[in-house]
Amino acid sequence: MIEQNHQIKTERCILRHVSKEDIPQVFDATRVKGFNDGMVWDPPANPQELLQPFKDNCEAWRTGTAYVFTIETHDGAFIGRISIRSTKSKGLWSLGFWTHPRFQGMGYMSESVRGILEFGFNRLSAKEIEACHASWNVASQRVLEKCGFTWREHIEQGFKKKGDWVAEDRLSIKR
């Protein structure tokens, strides 16, 4: 059981449990054209639509099936989100992340991924951590490779977006 007040601190970031107060920043990120194109979830029509995902994230944390963290700078600027979720395979966890567009390209996500890897391997006893990204999303691929992930497979029918398949690449890193 990981307490909800658990934080991961990196050189420039704090990864903390999500809160309702994050919803305006999450909604703001989804207003940027193309932001959600490489993600399974669609942009919400209004901030209230983010309340149920917030509740779901809290429940998943409580049950130990997923840990979703808000990433912020040490002075409180909202950077994005990062999560680690259990899978059906024992010892295999799945990583997901996104950065608010105004903070992309500054190295915050690579730093946060390294913090989550330590958390996953040391606190969750993960044997392997995987991540999928839309094949065209080279920035996410670079983040993963910088953190030691290696390519595993191309998934032509990764997920559906607006009725069309989005191809994904799966990478992973072992303990």
Q: How many CB atoms lie within 10 A of CB 64?
A: 11
- The predicted pLDDT at position 125 comes to 97
State pLDDT tens for residues 8-48. Answer: 999 999 999 999 999 999 999 999 999 999 999 999 999 99
State pLDDT tens for residues 45-54. Answer: 999 999 999 9
User: End-to-end alpha-carbon separation of the chain, Å?
Assistant: 21
- The predicted pLDDT at position 1 comes to 84
The phi, psi pair for 33, rounded to 5°, reads: -55, 130
State pLDDT tens for residues 92-149. Answer: 999 999 999 999 999 999 999 999 999 999 999 999 999 999 999 999 999 999 999 9
Residue 138: CB partners within 8 Å, gap ≥ 6?
A: none
Give the type of residue at 154.
Answer: H
Q: Are 133 and 124 in contact (CB under 8 A)?
A: no
CATH of range 8-130; options 3.40.630.30, 2.60.40.1120, 3.30.930.10, 3.90.550.10: 3.40.630.30
